[in-house]
Homo-oligomer: A and B are copies of this chain.
């Protein structure tokens, strides 16, 4: 951590910073430059409150030169984390990219089983489907709830595919422990710290979506909450960020893939469906994600998008999905 002093180099303010830092047990190194004095802090910075420093007169800026995440950082954990599901499927590291696919929302058994069979035969390895849906409007369909999880459980029994579904409330964790293989945390809950703390106490893999306007650093800090709690099974999921662009629902930040690969050891999954919001842009972005180095994809597929309970416009039909899976398979060697 570095404290930058205002122009003028007021000696008493500099001394106040030094005293405060040294009282906390750290060492300081003062460098007087031509325009500004900077004070380097050496030692355990968690003992120093940044905002107290900010309130000392003449402090212009405080700069963190080390990353605020530790357990999520590749620096501290050079090897890729590989997540192993109950059925033995491995995600991350040198493993083949894993495609998770299924409907946005679980609607009924007939629909779910039809789609589950279709995505399985196309090569998907995990079935996705929402039971609780985060909807902007209180008047929109909110999902089947527990009934939805039971249908997913039934679909797993029928197809052998592990299932992923979104958790929105700490009180539902026991249900998710029982029925799903991967717990998804949606973009709107990325900084629901109460929820993240509870997820640190369990051992189930967590698919942590990036917040709508979260930086990669904040996203890794949210992963850090889960890791610090003791749950090391975290998958990151980029699903598009909010920008000025209106022709796509969000802007898929695909450069997050090489950035995460450099900064962290956690696997990264791309959700092209929510990122772009239109089915016809999904294949291009799916292929791009694979060659950019993603560890997997999560794609919405529906056999009758025009009847889907939500987000029909962004679903691929099984036939298109099946063709895309051929390309994905061929492209995985170019990661």
Contact = CB atoms under 8 A, between A and B. Distances in A.
A125 interface: no
A218 B60 CA distance: 19
A263 to B, nearest CB: 7
A32 B66 CA distance: 12
A202 interface: no
A91 B30 CA distance: 42
A61 B55 contact: no
Interface stretch (A94-102, A153-161, A254-262): A254-262
A63 B292 CA distance: 29
B276 A287 contact: no
Pick from A42, A221, A276, A291 the residue with the most CB of B within 10 Å.
A291
A137 B64 CA distance: 13
Interface in A135-190: 135-139, 168-171, 188-189
Residue of A29, A66, A137, A189 most packed against chain B (CB within 10 A) = A137
A311 B306 CA distance: 40
Interface stretch (A82-90, A111-119, A327-335): A327-335
A310 interface: yes
Contact of A312 (B52, B138, B248, B281): B52
A212 B215 contact: no
Copies assembled: 4
Contacts of A51: 308, 310-314
Contact of A288 (B136, B216, B288, B308): B288
A84 B47 CA distance: 43
Interface in A100-139: 134-139
Interface in A188-209: 188-189, 191-194, 196-197
A135 B193 contact: yes
Given A251-B253, A292-B288, A258 B243 contact: no
Interface in A221-266: 221, 224-225, 228-229, 241-248, 251-259, 262-263
Nearest to A3: B65
A284 B258 contact: yes
A288 B286 CA distance: 9
A46 B139 contact: yes
Give the top 4 A-B pairs by smallest Cβ distance, nearest first: A54-B313, A213-B213, A288-B288, A169-B194
8 contacts: A2-B63, A34-B44, A35-B66, A55-B306, A138-B196, A138-B229, A192-B192, A243-B251
Interface of A: 2, 4, 6-7, 20, 29, 31-36, 38, 40-44, 46, 49, 51-52, 54-56, 60-61, 63, 65-66, 68, 75, 134-139, 168-171, 188-189, 191-194, 196-197, 212-218, 221, 224-225, 228-229, 241-248, 251-259, 262-263, 275-276, 279-281, 284-285, 287-293, 305-315, 327, 330-331, 334
